[in-house]
Structures are given as structure tokens and as C-alpha cells.
Amino acid sequence: MSETAGYMRFFPYDQPYENQRKAMDRIYNSLHQGRDVLFEGACGTGKTLSSLVPALEIAREQDKTVVITTNVHQQMRQFVAEARAITRGESIRAVVFKGKASMCHIDVGYEECQALRDNTRAVVDAERDREQLERRQRELLAESQDGDGSAADARSAVMDELEGIEERLDDLEEQNVCDYYRNNLTEDTDEFFGWLFEDVRTPDEIYEYADQRQFCGYELLKEGIEGVDLVVCNYHHLLDSTIRDQFFRWLGRDPDDVIAVFDEAHNVEDAAREHATRTCSERTFDSALDELAETDDPRSADAANVLSAFHRALVETYEESFGFGDREQLGENWSDVPIANDDRKDDLTLEFLQRYSGRGIEDDLEAAMKLGQELDEEYEEAYREGETATRTECQTLQAAAFVSAWMTEGSKEGLYPVVSVTRDAGTDEVYGRAELYTCLPRQVTGELFDEVHATVLMSATLQPFDVTEDVLGLEDAVTMAYGLQFPEENRRTYAVETPPLFSSDRDDPAVQAEVAETISDAVRMTPGNTLAFFPNYGEASRYADRLERHSDRTVYLDEPGESVEELRKRFVADDDAVLCTSLWGTLAEGVSFDGDDAHTVLVVGVPYPHLDDRAEAVQDAYDVAFDGTDTGWRYAVEIPTVRKTRQALGRVLRSPAEVGVRALLDRRYSRSAKSDLGKYSVNGTFPHEEREELIDIDPAKLKFAMLNFYGGHDEYDGEPPAP
């Protein structure tokens, strides 16, 4: 397509990059055919506009809505900036949508909010009916005074209706209502919607504007998104099937009228798994049994019978797992208790079946579900009527629904039963939960991709594409990949042949000494700040301590619980510092270190995740689903691990003018080690073009290579450090 027509009307800048132009063309043609797109692009590719511009054109041509979604706050801000730039040249109606919890003015839950809105609408409708009837009775009074006998009879009937409305309003006044939502229904909101679509407004801006005028901005936003051109939102609006159905109704769109664009799409796998996983804690069962004890409904005995059996089985299952001292060592984080068996049902189900006695599990669960539904309706009615200050959630319904799912779905392909246990920091109480963990994310995403018109999944780390297609349930997707567009002479990427940091070797003093010396050399040769990523926070702390003792650079350590943004600000304000963090922390992706924020990035070790029984279950599920003995390891462990590494490498070199070094400190990354390390080598897991940039180097020579590289650029203010 020419630059003067078609999708270029949505391109907000003078000229696209060459690869950006090619990407837009391919994405436009793909979306026109309703095909999904996998788009990998390094920093500088302009992925957001490459996807958004052709998607908006297809939406304009075919009357569809573009939904662009991310799970990274910084990227949402970027989307808002790009959308605002587009609106300066081409009129589009765009909204940024977040969940109710972040926009509610009175901070109530979803069920409470629903009841408040229903009550408020009932009051407003009754008041409007009263106004109409009062107006009509005045008209009839005037007619009767002029001698119209039939008008007097009609007025009498209207007065009877008015009396009924007054009684209804007296009853409604006792109910809970929302004053903000009442203003939505009774005040003029045209000014709000005019303001909303003058620009692209953030949820915070909407909240503040609405709050000043005593409106519910969230409900007004829901009303205003019907038929818009573009929506920016979080993953859960698309990945949670229940929320997705509601979201599409608010949009006034059928699924086929939606073009979905996923940013940071390498995270979709884990996000889909999280949204599909079901859990129910011991405390929910405790509350359900208390709830049943307080009702005299005859079904409560059957309901309590089945729920108490599952509750006792849950407690017994985790109690039996404790060895000597295990209970005392439990912390506030959830710890898994393996219960799955290869040749029979899981331990929790077996314990439940042994403990249950009654007329039948299915019948008792049906009784519990029906009773729970009725109790839930009673709680809602009590809240509507103002009898309770908050809307009570029915614990019986939640517990019964979970046990029913556990018994009917627990043996399905890709679902893994887990029991976890934790300690309450406040009461020191130990309690557990049961969980149906979803191993196969395509069970979530496959349905979504089938429903919508088309999708674009974009990330800097989507390759290998065939694996992404398999895992997410895509078929015949269009694939494209563009590497770094910046000058090659401005960067070096090294595979430093330090000893492999296998978990069994990390405590070896000789290994630590060599790795620490190499890190110190890299930090010393960097004209500015250095980022150092480690396999976990423990290793980050270990080497941060060594650097503090043997380096004159300021050392910043990212620790769990610390404000990452505050740490980042302090680090980038420095000139010659090193920041040590975990590859599994929030600084490894979605956070940019631009310009002089950092020049060198080090990835120390290969960041394999903790391989627990849950991870093994995912591998096994992939082996079965994709018919291969090594498929599980490759799909579930090796490729996600290398993606983590690639994400970390992308934190620096964010513009063509930047100069920097990216170094992987572990022999497993080197090309030369493939022959003797075999399956432990990860070099072959990198995309071809990135492997070609990797330069194998001896640890002792890294300092000289970096000295020569940085010395060839105007990065040193004075004499370079001695190697």
C-alpha cells in the first residue's frame, strides 16, 4: 500500500523504519485474511505501531474494534502515548480500561457493586415513575376542575398508583444505594463523554475527573466503550472467559468483531495457566461448614457431610506429608505437597473417598450447590434491602463448586492436582488449600484465538515460533522476526566461558572466585552503570557482597519486598554503579534502561526455574500433548529459560545512538561448549541471528575485549582503567 493511503493515515510520525514498513504490510494483509500473527521484534523495531496501525485500518474497513493488551504497566503507558499520537492526526475513539477494583470510589467487591447498582436503579426508576404520575395527576386535576367528570375518575386511579409508588420508595430508602452511580443515572453526563473522547484518558484521569463530579467513572466508562475503535486493557479482560464475555458485551461486539493484540506475548503462556487454575483453601471449607451449621434447611446435613469429608481429607493429606521439623519450618509462602500418583487417583481424592460416608457424593454435592445458590440469593437480597452493610459471599457455594470440579475434572488431560500449605503470619496458624493446576495453556488461549477475528502476538522473545503455536493452540499463524536495527559496531555480545553455574557447583569456592573476578572485570571496564542478572536472589546477594568487598563501584542489590521503582531511580541517578538482581524479578523485562542508565548487562548463569513436581507435571503434559519424550523439557523449561535470558539482554541498547556490551557468563552459552556439554548447552536454543552475534571468549580476556570496544567509542571521560 502507498504511504498516502490506507493504514498510513494511522501512522503518527513522518516515516516508518524500513522493517517497520514491511511488518505493517504483512500484518495488514494477514489481518485482512483473518489470520493470526506471531511477531518478534527487538528493541527499535517499533512493534507497537507496526501492529496497531494496520489493525486500526482493518477495524475501520470492516467495522471491528482493536483490543491491545499487556501485563506490564510500563507498556500500558507506552500504548497510551502511541494512541494519543495517533489521535493528533486521525480521529479515533480510544479508551484505556482497567478493572473495577482500581477505579471504584467506595471500594466494594463485585457482588456488592452489582447489588448497589440494582438498588440504585430501582430507586431512580421509582422516583421517575413518581414524577410522571404527579405530573399526570396535576393535568387530570386541571381537567376535572374544568368539568371533565372522567378526568376525576382517572385522577383517582393515578393517586392510587402514586400511593403505591410512595410505599415502594419508603421501602427502597432502607436499602443500600451508591450515590456516585445515582448521579450517573440522574445527572447530565454529556460533558463527561465529551471530555473522555477529546483525548486518550488513563484510568487515573477518569477516576479523578469523575470523582470531582461525584460520578462513578468505571460505570460511565463501561457505557462509553460500545463501538470504540481501540481499547487498551490488561490480560485478564481476554484470558478470563467470564470477564471476556462481559467485556465483549460492554464493547457491543461479537468475538468475531474483535482484533486482539497481545504485547509481551511470551508471558501469555503463564498468564493463561494462572487464569485457568482453580483453588479452594481450608478456610473456605471452615466458613462453609460454619455457614451450614447456622441454617436449619434439611439439605444442610448432606451438604456438611460431603464438605466436611473433603475438609478432613485435605488436612490429613498435608499433615501426613510433614517430616520431623517440617511444620516448624513453614513460612508465609505456599509450599506444595505432592499428591499425584501415576497408577491411581491422587492422595487427596483417595483420602476423601475413604473418609466420605453417605448416600452418594454426587447427590450430596448437588444438595450443597442448590442450597448454596439459595443462600447466595438470600445474602444478595439482604444487602439490597439494607439489612447488612456488606454483601456476604456464600462459602458453601464456593466450596461445593470446587469439590464438584475436583471430582469431575481432576482426571482430565492437562490438569494437575496439588495440595499446598502455608502459615498465617498473624495467627501462626498452619492451613492448606487444594488446587487444580492447568498445565496446558492452549486450553484457555485456543478457544480465544478461535473466537476472535484475528490476533497479533508480539514480543522480543517469541521464537521458536512452532513452539509458541503448539503451546498456545495457534494454527497456521503468519510469523515474522526482526532483529536489532541499531548499528552493529555499537554493541558486542559475549558468551564468556566461566564455569557452568550448575546448582551443585554454585557453592564451590573456586567457581565463585572465577565468576566474581569476571564480573568485577566487566564492571570495572564499563564506562558507567552495569546491570547484573543472576539465577535467583540468593546468587545476586552472594555476588553483590563480593563486589562490595572488592570493587570501588557502588553496589545496589534488588531484594524481595523492596520498591523496584525506587531502586531503579537510585541506580540510574548514579554514574558508576552495578545493580544485582534476579532474572526472575521484575527488572528483567518491561523496564528500560535508556541512554546512560546502563551500558553493560551481564547475565550470570542459566536461569532454570525451580523444577518441582508442578513443573514436572507441565513437562509430562507437554510430552503427552505433543508426542515426544524430550518435548516437555524443551517446551516447558529450556525455551522459557532462554527467553528470560534474552529479555534481560534487551534491557540496554534501547536506541541507535547507544553503545553497550551484553555478556553471558556461563560456558553453557558458548558455541564451543556444545560438543562436550551436550544437552546442557543452551547455545542452540537461541535464534540463529542471535547465535551469530555471540562471541565466545575466555574469562581472562573479557576485560581486554571490553577495554578495546569501549575505547573505540567516545564513552570515557578520561584515561581508561588499567586491565
pLDDT of residue 719: 55
pLDDT of residue 715: 55
What is the bridge-based pairing of β-strands 454-459 and 258-262? Answer: parallel
Ranges of beta strands (E only) in 424-507 are 430-438, 454-459, 478-482, 491-496
Burial of 265 (0-12, 13-18, 19+ CB in 10 A): buried
Could you confirm whether domain 488-713 is CATH 3.40.50.300? yes
Q: Is 452 helix (H, G, I), strand (E, B) or coil?
A: coil
Q: Are 230 and 92 in contact (CB under 8 A)?
A: yes
pLDDT of residue 161: 84
Q: What is the DSSP letter of 717?
A: S
Cross-sheet strand order for the sheet of 230-234: 94-96, 230-234, 65-70, 258-262, 454-459, 37-41, 478-482
pLDDT of residue 302: 95
Q: Is 204 helix (H, G, I), strand (E, B) or coil?
A: helix
How far is Cα of residue 12 from the mean position of the Cα atoms in its chain? 28
Residue 66 confidence (pLDDT) above 80:
yes
pLDDT of residue 154: 84
CATH number assigned to the domain with residue range 278-380+390-439, chosen from the 4 options 1.10.275.40, 1.10.230.10, 1.20.1250.20, 2.60.40.10:
1.10.275.40
Q: Cα–Cα distance between 405 and 399 in angstroms, integer?
A: 10
Q: Cα–Cα distance between 566 and 68 in angstroms, integer?
A: 28
Q: Are 484 and 43 in contact (CB under 8 A)?
A: yes
Q: Cα–Cα distance between 663 and 702 in angstroms, integer?
A: 9
Dihedrals phi, psi of 501, to nearest 5 degrees: -85, 60
Mean pLDDT of 503-507: 91
pLDDT in tens, 234-288: 998 999 888 899 999 999 999 999 999 999 999 999 999 988 889 999 999 999 9
Residue 136 confidence (pLDDT) above 80:
yes
pLDDT in tens, 637-662: 999 999 999 999 998 888 888 999 99
Q: What is the DSSP letter of 390?
A: S
pLDDT of residue 493: 96
Residue 36 confidence (pLDDT) above 80:
yes
Residue 717 confidence (pLDDT) above 70:
no
pLDDT in tens, 176-212: 888 998 999 999 999 999 999 999 999 899 999 999 9
pLDDT of residue 723: 66
How far is Cα of residue 49 from the mean position of the Cα atoms in its chain? 22
pLDDT of residue 3: 46
Which value, in Å, is the radius of gyration of the alpha carbons in the chain? 31
Label residue 385 left, alpha or beta by phi (over 0 means left) and psi (-120 to 50 means alpha): alpha
How many angstroms separate the most distant Cα atoms in the chain?
112
Which is higher by pLDDT, 590 or 516? 516
Residue 454 confidence (pLDDT) above 90:
yes
pLDDT in tens, 257-269: 999 999 999 999 9
pLDDT of residue 15: 85
Kind and range of the H or E run holding 579: strand 577-582
Q: Which of 587, 535, 586 is nearest to 578 (CA)?
A: 587
How many secondary structure helices (H) and strands (E) does the chain include?
29, 18
pLDDT of residue 283: 94
Q: What is the chain's mean pLDDT, rounded?
A: 90
Which is higher by pLDDT, 651 or 65? 65
Cross-sheet strand order for the sheet of 600-604: 554-557, 577-582, 530-534, 600-604, 660-665, 491-496, 694-697
Buried b (16+ CB within 10 A) or exposed e, 414-448: bbbbbbbbbbeeeeeebbbbbbbbbbbbbbbbbeb
Mean pLDDT of 11-17: 88
Dihedrals phi, psi of 91, to nearest 5 degrees: -70, 120
Q: What is the DSSP letter of 574?
A: -
Residue 389 confidence (pLDDT) above 80:
no
Mean pLDDT of 202-230: 91
Q: Are 317 and 347 in contact (CB under 8 A)?
A: yes
pLDDT of residue 423: 93
Q: HEC profile for 264-330?
A: CHHHHHHHHHHHHCEEEEHHHHHHHHHHHHCCCCCHHHHHHHHHHHHHHHHHHHHHHHCCCCHHHHC
Label residue 177 left, alpha or beta by phi (over 0 means left) and psi (-120 to 50 means alpha): beta
Label residue 259 left, alpha or beta by phi (over 0 means left) and psi (-120 to 50 means alpha): beta
Q: Are 424 and 333 in contact (CB under 8 A)?
A: no
pLDDT of residue 543: 96
pLDDT of residue 173: 72
Joined grid coordinates for residue 26: 504483512
Task: For 6-93+227-264+460-472, give the CATH class.
Answer: alpha beta
Residue 140 confidence (pLDDT) above 80:
yes
What is the bridge-based pairing of β-strands 660-665 and 600-604? Answer: parallel
pLDDT of residue 4: 45
How confident is residue 388, by pLDDT bands cut at 50, 70 and 90?
confident
Q: Cα–Cα distance between 83 and 232 in angstroms, integer?
A: 9
Which is higher by pLDDT, 535 or 223? 535
pLDDT of residue 71: 83
Residue 348 confidence (pLDDT) above 90:
yes
Joined grid coordinates for residue 655: 536506541
Residue 428 confidence (pLDDT) above 50:
yes
Residue 5 confidence (pLDDT) above 60:
no
Residues 6 or more apart in contact with residue 593 via CB below 8 angstroms: 529, 531, 572, 651, 652, 654
How confident is residue 44, by pLDDT bands cut at 50, 70 and 90?
confident
